[in-house]
Amino acid sequence: MTSDPVVQWQPPLLAVADSGVFPLRQVWCVGRNYAEHAREMGVDPERSEPVFFAKPAACMHQQRSVTYPADTTELHHEVELVVFLSGGGRNLAADDWEQHIFGYAVGVDLTRRDLQARFKQSGQPWELSKGFDQAAPIGRIVPASDWKPEPSAAIELQVNGAVRQQATLAAMLWSVPVLLEQLSRSVTLGAGDALMTGTPAGVGPLQVDDRVTARIHGLPVLEFSVREQ
Ligand code: MN
């Protein structure tokens, strides 16, 4: 008689500001949540609905450098507010969302844009343009008791000190509660889930040796560099 193989694994553990960790279960993302970004991607924001997609949880990390990925010559930055859940369920009501929020962080939804364009053109799913090693760097998570997403909060991304993306959270087409309400009509949300809430205009390519600084007012700054393979 042979014994069952033992699988050693634990979920990604993300650092929380001051102390503690957040065990990550799954990462949802939304596309086209800022009108100017929808336009720069060739989509009419008046006619668009939130587009939900996922990244593998293993993509999310807090390392200080990202290795330039394979299969692209066009690695794009997308600065985003990231929401972390302590609970959830199906069909969440937009007026009862706050009890499910664990906290918030600033993150970057790294995208292999050339690959995404090819997948879109051929009508194929574009997971691999969004899901690859280190594709979701985030800053430290701040508990919801210490920070709320005020519409006036500035969201910004700099590359080597030059501003590339700049907006306020007021420019989000769908607020955090509306996104949670809509996504939970389709999937069960739960403790350990993250939602990347979309990016403002100004997305663009990163090069090896670039230094990226991503900020949302009041949250710990996210800084990382891009390293050669
Ligand atoms: Mn994005």
Asked if the model's pLDDT at residue 97 lies above 90, the reply is no
pLDDT for the residue numbered 132: 98
Comparing 211 with 229, the larger pLDDT belongs to 211
Q: Does 32 reside within a domain? A: yes
Q: Which residues of 165-191 are buried (b: 16+ CB within 10 A; e: fewer)?
A: bebbbebbbbbbbebbbbbbeeeebbe
The Å distance, Cα 52 to ligand 1 centre, comes to: 10
Quote the domain boundaries for residue 179: 14-227
Q: Does 127 reside within a domain? A: yes
User: 79-85 and 101-108 as β-strands: parallel, antiparallel, unpaired?
Assistant: antiparallel
The number of domains in the chain is 1
The Å distance, Cα 199 to ligand 1 centre, comes to: 5
The Å distance, Cα 8 to ligand 1 centre, comes to: 31
Q: Give the percent of the chain with pLDDT over 70.
A: 99
The Å distance, Cα 1 to ligand 1 centre, comes to: 50
Q: Does 7 reside within a domain? A: no
pLDDT for the residue numbered 118: 97
**How does residue 3 score in pLDDT terms, banded at 50, 70 and 90?**
confident
Q: Does 50 reside within a domain? A: yes
Residue closest to 63 by CA, chosen among 134, 159, 150, 162: 134
Express each pLDDT in 37-95 by its tens digit: 889 888 888 777 789 999 999 999 999 999 999 999 999 999 999 999 999 999 998 77
The Å distance, Cα 17 to ligand 1 centre, comes to: 24
Q: Give the percent of the chain with pLDDT over 90.
A: 85
Mean pLDDT of the chain: 95
Residue closest to 59 by CA, chosen among 138, 143, 156: 138
Q: How far apart are CA 181 and CA 189, in angstroms?
A: 10
| CATH number of the structural domain spanning residue 70 | 3.90.850.10
Q: How far apart are CA 55 and CA 130, in angstroms?
A: 6
Q: Does 221 reside within a domain? A: yes
Enter the pTM of the model: 0.95
Q: Does 5 reside within a domain? A: no
Express each pLDDT in 145-197 by its tens digit: 999 999 999 999 999 999 999 999 999 999 999 999 999 999 999 999 999 99
Comparing 132 with 51, the larger pLDDT belongs to 132
The Å distance, Cα 16 to ligand 1 centre, comes to: 22
Q: Does 196 reside within a domain? A: yes
